[in-house]
Amino acid sequence: MNFEPTRERVNLLLYAADVATLLTQYTHIEVSRALTADGILEAVTAWTASKAAITVGNEGPYLLNGTVLELELPDGSTLSYVFTGPNPITAAAAAAELNLASPLLDCTTSGNKLVLRTLGTGSGAVLVVKGGDACHFLDVAYLTTAFGQDANVDLVTGQVLYSYADLNGDLGYTYRYRFVKQTPPAQSIYLGPTAIGQDVTVALNLLAVGKVKATSLQGLSQPNVEVHVTNRYVPPDIGGQLIINDQVKKLDASGIAAFPLIKGSKVEFYVSGTPNHRTITVPNVAEFDMLDPTLVADDPWGIVVPPYTALPRTTL
């Protein structure tokens, strides 16, 4: 997939609408990423967390004595190792030498082939073959790269918002997630993350998901209409942080847009191309309808029409 190690933390907020219904069909959330919007998705989570592993092309034993293998390790350092065992070196003996050379490695074998492998699991585990003449004998290409995977995210009763961190991510990647079940196998369509950033600075229990749902006059979903949300008040229980970003989203194919919002904040939002322009206080609930008429009481700066009295006509 040509992903490169970034060692950059990217946090995703994942929304599970109507989680009670989802739990009747699925058990977990699977997260994937692509280099571009139309690129091939590669899963960064799986049913169990895994190590970064590269299986070499040739079977052992190998003529590795005196040859060099350069590996980029999960912490970003480079191991330049000279094999010392007498030729021919078995795959198991080569793995043992590498494991003694670095505590970050847990190399093993697959049949008679050497498997270069990290000790740690998850998206933070990355391994790159940087070079060395040992690559020729092992039949492994320069810059071959492998990443570990995190475990799929558990779906939890009553929880609609979830956080996932890709430890070798990039804000320029395209991320998608879907709901899955292992037995019997089941999977939903892919969805885009509700929000993406480099760190989660507010606890998930302080966030609510506000939804805008729209339809056309013909009763059909109305995708691609923009909804703009702007903060107007910061609640005191988020550690004095300033809420600075506006959120702009387009209604999806179902005519829905979802926004993670800090509970207790006052936000102003409008739907492009419509007269809908409101200021509301985000309620203390897991999710809510941003167009709910009962939220009108929380509109301290709503539009007010004064009771002007029409002046009588007069003739000069």
Question: Across the beta sheet with 266-271, what order do the strands follow?
Answer: 247-250, 226-233, 266-271, 277-281
Q: Tell me, what CATH number does 252's domain have?
A: 2.60.40.1120
**Which residue, of 119, 147, 175, is where some domain finishes?**
147
**Are 205 and 291 contained in the same domain?**
yes
181 is a domain residue: no
213 is a domain residue: yes
Q: How many domains does the chain have?
A: 2
Q: Tell me, what CATH number does 87's domain have?
A: 2.60.40
255 φψ region: left (φ > 0), alpha (ψ -120 to 50), beta (else): left
Beta-strand pair 108-110/78-82:
unpaired
Angle at 88 between CA 85 and CA 94, to 5 degrees: 50
pLDDT tens per residue across span 268-285: 999 988 888 888 889 999
pLDDT grade, residue 2 (50/70/90)? confident
12 is a domain residue: no
26 is a domain residue: no
- Whether 5 has a pLDDT exceeding 80, the answer reads yes
Q: Which residues span the domain enclosing 109?
A: 51-147
C-alpha dihedral sign at 83, 89, 94, 97: negative
Q: What is the pLDDT of residue 199?
A: 73
- Whether 310 has a pLDDT exceeding 70, the answer reads no
Q: What is the DSSP string of 210-265?
A: EEEE-B-TTS-B-TT-EEEEEEEE--GGGTT------EEEE--TTSEEEEEEETT-
**Are 213 and 137 contained in the same domain?**
no
User: What is the mean pLDDT of the segment spanning 298-314?
Assistant: 51
Counting every residue written for the chain, the total comes to 316
172 is a domain residue: no
245 is a domain residue: yes
pLDDT tens per residue across span 104-141: 999 999 999 999 999 999 999 999 999 999 999 999 99
**Are 135 and 223 contained in the same domain?**
no
Structure tokens at 179: 């709901």
Q: How far is CA 311 from the centre of its chain?
A: 61
**Are 206 and 293 contained in the same domain?**
yes
User: What is the mean pLDDT of the segment spanning 221-250?
Assistant: 77
- Whether 45 has a pLDDT exceeding 90, the answer reads yes
**Are 143 and 63 contained in the same domain?**
yes
9 is a domain residue: no
pLDDT grade, residue 163 (50/70/90)? very high
Q: What is the pLDDT of residue 236?
A: 61
Could you tell me which residues come within 8 angstroms of residue 245 by beta carbon, excluding any fewer than 6 positions away? 231
In angstroms, the Cα distances linking 25 to 43, 120, 185 are 20, 32, 10
**Which residue, of 147, 170, 191, is where some domain finishes?**
147
Other CB atoms within a 10 A radius of the CB of residue 200 amount to: 16
In angstroms, the Cα distances linking 159 to 71, 81, 89, 178 are 41, 48, 53, 16
162 is a domain residue: no
Q: What is the pLDDT of residue 58?
A: 96
**Which residue, of 118, 147, 176, is where some domain finishes?**
147
pLDDT tens per residue across span 133-149: 999 999 999 999 999 99
